[in-house]
Chain A
Amino acid sequence: MGLMSDAPEPDGRTPDNRTVERFRIVVLPHLDSAYGFARWLARDPVAAQDLAQESLLRALRYFHAFRGEEARPWLLRIVRNTWTDMRTRYAAESESLETVENQVAAGPDPEQSAEAGERRRHVAAALAALPAEVREVLVLREIEDLSYKQIAGVLDLPIGTVMSRLARAREKLAAELRGRLGRRDHGLSDL
């Protein structure tokens, strides 16, 4: 697919106006999704913006290779590949997970009780604390709501591997949550 490289397009074409217009209609509506996935990959809002921007630009560069498949998984795959290339740049500055917790805690949700906010903060922190390999598969399933087949496409894995990673991710998350939340107080006794 050639998405892993920063090399110019194989055929050296610059996207023309019509391509950019099509890109606006087909791909740009999925920017929120790309940013959301980037947030969970990078675990830092500033790095996530850079990642999402770089991914969108790569997507435009490779848009001529887009064959009319589903645009959102296609874009998420580019986000994932771009992150593989970028992460070393951010590895040195990788921050504590506190930011993630605070971000989620500060969400604009006046309807929710303080307890619900507290619980969400724990859930976000537990998810952020998972190893990347299982975190991404869980985010694609539960937050991006992709099917097993779509996830397999994004991560370039066989479906069986997607399923086993998903199972492992859920086990680890349950263990992580049990450590963070009181079992009885939060109705999580079954996890």
Chain B
Amino acid sequence: MDCPTCEAMVDAYVDGELSARDSVEFEAALAICTDCRQRLEAARTMSGLLRGLPADPAPDLLRARIERELRAIAGRPHERARERMRWAAVAASLIVAVGLGWLGGNLTGQGGRQSDEMIAGYLRVAMAETPVDVASSDRHTVKPWFVGRIDYAPPVHDLTAQGFPLLGGRLDVVDGRKVAVLVYRRNQHRLALTVWPAATAGNTSPDITVRDGFALARWRHAGFEMRAVSDLAPAEMGSFATALDKAADSGS
């Protein structure tokens, strides 16, 4: 406890802020002072714990919103715009078109925010070169992929026979929560289905709306909230929902 080195130097040593000379002095103290060694060990443990926290990258939608602002100020980005920037720009313009008043940090109107987030997520699915994190038409591959990545097991069904082959799955963030997204295909179109456990019981029939050329469907079935986005015609979106519900009920 009488060692002045413990108090004064442990943090700075761990932080790499000691001069070469002070480091030498501290390391010499380590050899003879138990307190110093213990403090150093504790400081390193804590640093390791903090640095082990997962870092969430900026969400796609945030990028899209910023991209929209930059384009509003400066017009189109320069020649070699990357693929990522291109979809971000499209998401941005679509959000403008949807016109739900993003700016201003309004936390109310959750429904609007949710739809926007899902449209942004869909655009990534629709336009990215690799639209899924796990690419497989086999539901026995896709379903286990989510284990340990989100805190529920999403229902995964193969609807190839009904004309909607499964492409795979990915993670997204909606309203700050990590959710499962399943990606299906219909001819040339992709469909993104976001699924999470329902807080309310009972099934509802799909409510299908069209926004800016996108069909949005929301319904609840077998304990899950379902949100589907695609550039399909509304009737086809209806067929998808029906096919999915049937598959869920028959357990296929």
> Chain A residues in contact with chain B, CB under 8 A?
14-17, 19-21, 23-24, 28, 31-32, 34-36, 39, 44-47, 49-50, 52-54, 56-57, 60, 86, 89, 93, 99, 102-110, 112, 119-120, 123-124, 127, 138, 141-143, 147-148, 163, 166-167, 170, 173-174, 177, 187-188, 190-191
Contacts and interface: CB of A to CB of B under 8 A. Distances in A.
B107 A46 contact: yes
Given A21-B74, A147-B17, A166-B11, A35 B56 contact: yes
A49 B61 contact: yes
A108 B70 CA distance: 31
> Which of B51, B63, B148, B150 is packed against the most chain A CB atoms within 10 Å?
B148
Contacts of A31: 58, 62-63, 66
A148 B17 contact: yes
Contact of B58 (A34, A57, A60, A86): A34
Determine the main DSSP class of B at the interface with A: mixed
B11 A163 contact: yes
A53 B66 contact: yes
Contact of B50 (A103, A110, A142, A187): A142
A109 B147 CA distance: 10
B176 A99 contact: yes
Interface string B142-184: 0000011111000000000000000000010101111000000
A35 B148 CA distance: 24
B92 to A, nearest CB: 12
B46 A174 contact: yes
A93 B176 CA distance: 15
A35 B53 contact: no
A24 B150 contact: no
Contact of A190 (B38, B54, B56, B173): B38
A148 B53 CA distance: 21
Interface of B: 11-12, 15-17, 38, 41-43, 45-47, 49-59, 61-63, 65-66, 69-70, 73-75, 77-78, 105, 107, 113, 147-151, 171, 173, 175-178
A36 B55 contact: yes
Nearest to B61: A49
B17 A120 contact: no
Contacts of A52: 58, 62
A86 B105 CA distance: 10
A138 B171 CA distance: 30
Contact of B11 (A20, A123, A167): A167
A16 B173 CA distance: 34
A24 B77 contact: yes
A170 B50 CA distance: 11
B53 A191 contact: no
Contact of B53 (A20, A45, A49, A123): A123
A20 B74 contact: yes
B176 A46 contact: yes
B173 A45 contact: yes
A104 B54 contact: yes
B58 A50 contact: no
Contacts of A104: 53-54
Contacts of B69: 53, 56-57, 60
Contacts of B46: 170, 173-174, 177, 191
B148 A110 contact: yes
